[in-house]
C-alpha cells in the first residue's frame, strides 16, 4: 500500500462544528489523523455553516470541503421517528454525494443518523466505514434524556445504532465502559481507540510547590450530569484557595449562583470559553484539577490533566467503576461538598502525595493515552480497514 490512500475520506458528523470551533475544542488533524488523506469531506447532518478557516487545522494538510445533509425535527417527524423504510430519500442524498466524491473510507462520529448514511452508502457503493462511539448509548444517551422530544429521539436512534454498528467494518469505542453496550447488542468487531488529545501544547508539571493562594481548576461541559457545584461548595470552606471553572452550558448560571451563595464570588473565576491550545499550555500553572461527572467515561479533559501530571480529584462513579480510573492515579470521592473538601485539603497538606499522584497518572497516561500513540493507532486502524 502507498503512504497515502487513493481517494478522499468522508467524515459524517452530527455536532455543530461552528460551536466546537468557537470553543476552541477542535485539535489538529482530529478529522484526518496522521495527515493520512490529501482530501477530506466533512458531512454535517445539520444546517450548521462553520467557517472553513476555523476548522481547517482539524484536517491537517488535506484539502477540506464541507457539506450539509440537514436532518432536524422535520425529518424526524416525516419519517415517523427515523423509520429506516422512510429514510430512503435522505439516504439517496448521502449516496449521491458519495458517488460524486468517490471516498476510499468513511467515518461516523457516534452511531446516529450520520452512521446510517455510512451504512446506506456502503450498501449501495461498497465503501467501507468505521464508527467511533463516544459514549455508552444506553446509559449516557437514553439514560439521561431531558424532555419528551429528546427522549423520543433517543429511543428512535436505537434501531439506527444497531443497524449501522453491525454494518460497520470496524467499531471504535473511545473508552472501555462502552464495551458492555456493544457486547449486549452482539457487536464483536470493535477495538478500543482512545481519543487523541492536544499533544502539541500539553506540558508536564514538575513543580508541586503550592501557589498562594492554592489554584484549583475545574474543566468540562456544564451540563446537569457534569455539575461541579459541590466542588464550588468545597472550595468555599478552604479560605486559601481559588477555583477556576472553565466551560459553558445550560447550568452555567446555576454555578455562578452557587458561587455567590457560598460567598466566594471573588475566589471563583468563570471562563466560558478557552481555546484548547491555551488550556493545555496553562494546565501546569494549576495545583489541583477537580470536577464532577456521573458519566461512565474517561473524558478528553481528564486525559489532558493526567498527561500534565496534575493531581486529580474526581467523582467515584455511582454505578460500576470506570475501568480506566483507580485510586493510584486520582482521588475518587462521593459527590458531596464534604468529600471534595476532605480530598482537596488532604492534597493541599501533602506535597509528596500531590507529586506521587501526578507522576503515577502521567506515567499511566503516557503508556495508554499518549497523543502521538492515539493518533498513530487511528492511522493503523484506517489502513487496516482500507486494506481489507
Give the confidence band of 145 by pLDDT, cuts at 50, 70, 90: low
Mean pLDDT within 249-276: 94
Residues 179-194 pLDDT 10s = 999 999 999 999 999 9
**Is 353 a residue whose pLDDT tops 60?**
yes
CA 343 from centroid of its chain's CA atoms: 26
Backbone angles phi, psi at 19, to 5 degrees: -70, -45
CA atoms of 322 and 324, how far apart (whole Å): 6
CA atoms of 340 and 312, how far apart (whole Å): 11
Full 3-state SS string of 135-154: CCHHHHHHHHCCCHHHHHHH
pLDDT at site 156: 76
**H or E segment to which residue 109 belongs:** strand 105-109
Residue 240, C-alpha cell as written in the block: 486559601
CATH of 9-193, one of 3.40.50.620, 3.40.50.2000, 1.20.1050.10, 1.10.10.10: 3.40.50.2000
Give the confidence band of 1 by pLDDT, cuts at 50, 70, 90: very low
Task: Flag the least confident range among 142-146, 160-164, 263-267, 306-310.
Answer: 142-146
Q: How many CB atoms lie within 10 A of CB 153?
A: 19
Locus of grid cell 493515552: 369
Locus of grid cell 469531506: 41
pLDDT at site 254: 97
Domain map of the chain by residue range?
Answer: 9-193, 214-368
3-state secondary structure of 173: strand
pLDDT at site 283: 97
Residues 5-46 pLDDT 10s = 767 999 999 999 999 888 888 889 999 999 999 999 999 999
**Percentage of the chain exceeding pLDDT 90:** 78
Q: What is the CATH code of the structural domain delimited by 214-368?
A: 3.40.50.2000
pTM of the model: 0.90
Quote the crossing angle between the two packed helices 351-369 and 300-308, to the nearest 10°.
Answer: 120
Residues 146-203 pLDDT 10s = 667 667 777 778 888 999 999 999 999 999 999 999 999 999 999 999 998 988 889 9
pLDDT at site 2: 44
pLDDT at site 153: 73
What is the overall mean pLDDT for the chain?
93
Same fold flag, 9-193 and 214-368: yes
CA atoms of 371 and 199, how far apart (whole Å): 5
Please, which residues have CB within 8 angstroms of residue 297's CB and are 6 or more apart in sequence?
135, 136, 140, 175, 177, 322
CA atoms of 252 and 303, how far apart (whole Å): 23
Amino acid at each position: 500500500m502507498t503512504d497515502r490512500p487513493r481517494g478522499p475520506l468522508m467524515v459524517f458528523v452530527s455536532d455543530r462544528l461552528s460551536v466546537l470551533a468557537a470553543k476552541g475544542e477542535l485539535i489538529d488533524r482530529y478529522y484526518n489523523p496522521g495527515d493520512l488523506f490529501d482530501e477530506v469531506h466533512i458531512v454535517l447532518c445539520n444546517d450548521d455553516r462553520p467557517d472553513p478557516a476555523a476548522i481547517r487545522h482539524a484536517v491537517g494538510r488535506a484539502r477540506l470541503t464541507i457539506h450539509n445533509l440537514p436532518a432536524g425535527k422535520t425529518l424526524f417527524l416525516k419519517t415517523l421517528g427515523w423509520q429506516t423504510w422512510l429514510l430512503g430519500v435522505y439516504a439517496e442524498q448521502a449516496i449521491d454525494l458519495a458517488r460524486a466524491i468517490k471516498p476510499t473510507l468513511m467515518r461516523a462520529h457516534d452511531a446516529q443518523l450520520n452512521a446510517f448514511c455510512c451504512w446506506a452508502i456502503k450498501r449501495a457503493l461498497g465503501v467501507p466505514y468505521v464508527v467511533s462511539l463516544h459514549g455508552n448509548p444506553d446509559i449516557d444517551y437514553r439514560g439521561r434524556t431531558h424532555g419528551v422530544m429528546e427522549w423520543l429521539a433517543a429511543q428512535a436512534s436505537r434501531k439506527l445504532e444497531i443497524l449501522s454498528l453491525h454494518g460497520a467494518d470496524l467499531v471504535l469505542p473511545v473508552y472501555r465502559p462502552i464495551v458492555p453496550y456493544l457486547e449486549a447488542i452482539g457487536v464483536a468487531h470493535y477495538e478500543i481507540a482512545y481519543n487523541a488529545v492536544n499533544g502539541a501544547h500539553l506540558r508536564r508539571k514538575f513543580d508541586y510547590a503550592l501557589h498562594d493562594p492554592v489554584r484549583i481548576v475545574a474543566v468540562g461541559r456544564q451540563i446537569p450530569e457534569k455539575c461541579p457545584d459541590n466542588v464550588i461548595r468545597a472550595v468555599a470552606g478552604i479560605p486559601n484557595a481559588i477555583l477556576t471553572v472553565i466551560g459553558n452550558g445550560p447550568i452555567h448560571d446555576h454555578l455562578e449562583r452557587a458561587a455567590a451563595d457560598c460567598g466566594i464570588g471573588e475566589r471563583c473565576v468563570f471562563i466560558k470559553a478557552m481555546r484548547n491550545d491555551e488550556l493545555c499550555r496553562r494546565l501546569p500553572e494549576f495545583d489541583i484539577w477537580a470536577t464532577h461527572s456521573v458519566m461512565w467515561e474517561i473524558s478528553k479533559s481528564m486525559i489532558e490533566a493526567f498527561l500534565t501530571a496534575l493531581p486529580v480529584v474526581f467523582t467515584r462513579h455511582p454505578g460500576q467503576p470506570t475501568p480506566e480510573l483507580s485510586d493510584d492515579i486520582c482521588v475518587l470521592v462521593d459527590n458531596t461538598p464534604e468529600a471534595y473538601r476532605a480530598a482537596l485539603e488532604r492534597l493541599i497538606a501533602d506535597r509528596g502525595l500531590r507529586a506521587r499522584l501526578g507522576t503515577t497518572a502521567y506515567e499511566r497516561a503516557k503508556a495508554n493515552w499518549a497523543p502521538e500513540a492515539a493518533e498513530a493507532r487511528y492511522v493503523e486502524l484506517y489502513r487496516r480497514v482500507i486494506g481489507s
